[in-house]
Amino acid sequence: MIPLRDTQEIKIFPIVTILIILINAIVFGTMYFTAIATPSPSVKLAMFFQHYGLVPYEIITGKLIYPSIKPVWLSFISSIFLHGGWMHIIGNMLFLWIFGNNIEDYVGAAGFVLFYLASGIVASLSQIATSPFSKIPVIGASGAIAGVMGAYFYLFPKARIKSIVFMFYFVTFVEVPAFIFLLLWFFMQLFSGFASFGSATSVAVWAHIGGFVFGFLVAVVLKASRRGREIYPS
């Protein structure tokens, strides 16, 4: 099931969401086309990921195993703007567009920048906590986007997600309540996380889980504080 769009209306022009998508696209395009211009594109890409990706081992020990961005903590930010391939970035940016503009509408442009980056950092910390000595670079915006999805899950549960479903030779379109769509997504991440716990995996599932939980909790606090201001205006 692939989401296409949601039914939740917005009142703003989502400039930050669009800028984040553009930055990701520019970074990916620069990285990809620079790599394919070299004799060994896969080696060049691996160098990009090692240099700008987040390597848990380096964060925990402070020891660099390859030349990396300095100071190494900057990889918490740089890593969430890297993607491993076309499907990786297209999928992530699709989810960001569907769910991100509504959260930007709710928290404002500046608030969304802070929330998005904080979600990415917490997601990375969650992955580090489960694989602290992994030397595999963690890359991708999915942890930050999971934070956006967690907030959406709490703030707009009654919205509907228009999705395309492939069933063998049949293709159909359905509208799924956001609550159901995101709950299923989260349970899939939990299942994958516990199934792969302690083993090497190419998908940072615990980053998804940590980001989603963080986004959900932030949304709970934001909605409660907004409700409080409505009841007790200053």
pLDDT confidence of residue 194: 80
- The model's pLDDT over 181-190, given as tens digits with 9 standing for 90+, comes to 999 999 999 9
Domain count, the chain: 1
Residue predicted with more confidence, 62 or 197: 62
Mean pLDDT score of the chain: 92
Residue predicted with more confidence, 102 or 166: 102
Tally of CB atoms within 10 A around 2: 10
Grade residue 230 by pLDDT with cuts at 50, 70 and 90. low
pTM, rounded to two decimals: 0.92
Which three-class secondary structure string do you get for 122-143? HHHHHHHHHCCCCCCCECCCHH
**Is it the case that residue 232 has pLDDT exceeding 70?**
no
**Is it the case that residue 113 has pLDDT exceeding 60?**
yes
Residue with tokens 């907004």: 226
Range of the domain at 109: 2-231
Residue predicted with more confidence, 195 or 124: 124
- The model's pLDDT over 181-225, given as tens digits with 9 standing for 90+, comes to 999 999 999 998 887 765 555 678 999 999 999 999 999 999 998
Contact 62, 73 (CB under 8 A): no
pLDDT confidence of residue 183: 96
Distance of CA 114 to the CA centre of its chain: 14
* Mean pLDDT, residues 1-18 taken together: 94
* CATH number for 102: 1.20.1540.10
The whole-angstrom separation of Cα 145 and Cα 175 is 21
Pick from 6-15, 24-33, 103-112, 220-229: least confident = 220-229
Q: What percent of the chain has pLDDT over 70?
A: 94
Grade residue 48 by pLDDT with cuts at 50, 70 and 90. very high
Beta carbons within 8 Å of 147's beta carbon, 6+ residues apart: 115, 116, 118, 119, 120, 122, 123, 211, 212, 214, 215, 218
Contact 123, 214 (CB under 8 A): yes
pLDDT confidence of residue 91: 95
